[in-house]
Chain A
Amino acid sequence: MAVKNYIEAITDALALEMRRDERVFVMGEDVGVRGGVFRATAGLLDEFGPQRVLDTPLAEAGIVGTAIGAALNGMLPVAEIQFVDFILPAVNQIISEAAKIRYRTAGDFHCPIVIRAPYGGGVHGALYHSQCLEALFTHVPGLKVVTPASPYDAKGLLLSAIRDPDPVLFFEHKRCYRLLKGDVPADDYTVPIGKVAVRREGSDITVFSYGLMLHFCQEAAEDLASEGISVHLVDLRTLLPLDRESILAAASRTGKALIVHEDNKTHGIGAEVAALISEEVFFDLDAPIMRLCGPDVPAMPYSSPMEKYYMLDQKKIADKMRELAAF
Chain B
Amino acid sequence: MTPEKYRELGLTGEQVRDMYRLMVLARELDKRTWLLNRAGKIPFLVSCQGHEGAQVGAAAALEVGTDLLCPYYRDIAMVLAFGMTPTELMLSNFARAADPNSGGRQMPGHFGSRRLGILTGSSAVGTQITHAVGAALAARMRGETTVVMTCFGEGSGNQGEFHEAANFAGVHKLPVIFFCQNNRYAISVPLEKQVGGGSIAARGQGYGMPGVRVDGNDVLAVYETVRDAVLRARQGEGPTLVEAMTYRLVPHSSDDDDSTYRSREEVEAAKRDDPLLRFGRYLRNVGVMTEADQEALLQKTLAIVDAAVSEAEAAPSPAPESTLEHVYAATREEH
Contact = CB atoms under 8 A, between A and B. Distances in A.
B68 interface: yes
A195 interface: no
Given A59-B167, A105-B112, A72 B135 contact: yes
User: Size band of the B side of the interface?
Assistant: 35 or more
Interface string B125-169: 001011111111111011000000000000000001100110110
Interface in B294-335: 325-329, 332, 334-335
Given A97-B122, A102-B328, A109-B119, A65 B334 contact: no
A74 B139 CA distance: 9
Contacts of A241: 328
A11 to B, nearest CB: 21
B181 interface: no
Interface residues of A, number: 46
Interface string B93-137: 000000011110110001011100001101010010111111111
A139 interface: no
Contact of B105 (A77, A96, A106, A163): A106
A104 interface: yes
Most buried by A among B101, B168, B327, B328: B328
A92 to B, nearest CB: 6
Interface in A108-129: 108-110, 112
B112 A108 contact: yes
A72 B134 contact: yes
A104 B329 contact: no
Contact of B168 (A66, A71, A163): A66
Nearest to B136: A69
Contacts of A73: 68, 119, 134-135, 138-139
Contacts of A109: 112, 114, 119-120
A106 B103 contact: yes
Contacts of A52: 141
Contact of A102 (B101, B110, B134, B326): B326
Given A66-B168, A73-B68, A106-B105, A96 B127 contact: yes
Contacts of B120: 72, 101, 104-105, 108-109
Interface string A156-168: 0000000111100
Contacts, number: 149
A87 to B, nearest CB: 14
Interface string B160-196: 1100110110010000000000000000000000000
Contacts of B114: 105, 108-109
A93 B127 contact: yes
A68 interface: yes
Contacts of B131: 65-66, 68-69, 72, 97
B165 A103 contact: no
Interface in B177-225: none
A56 interface: yes
A62 interface: yes
Contact of A96 (B124, B132, B139): B124
A75 interface: yes
Interface in A124-156: 141-142, 144
A220 to B, nearest CB: 35
B105 A68 contact: no
Listed residue (A52, A61, A105, A241) with the most chain B CB atoms within 10 angstroms of its CB: A105
A66 B100 contact: no
A153 to B, nearest CB: 19
A110 B330 CA distance: 12
A81 B171 CA distance: 19
Given A57-B164, A69-B119, A163-B335, A108 B113 contact: yes
A51 interface: yes
A107 interface: yes
B335 A112 contact: yes
B19 interface: no
9 contacts: A61-B130, A65-B164, A66-B133, A69-B70, A69-B134, A92-B161, A97-B124, A112-B335, A142-B328
The 5 closest A-B pairs by CB, nearest first: A69-B134, A65-B130, A62-B164, A106-B103, A69-B131
Interface of B: 68, 70, 100-103, 105-106, 110, 112-114, 119-120, 122, 124, 127, 129-139, 141-142, 160-161, 164-165, 167-168, 171, 325-329, 332, 334-335
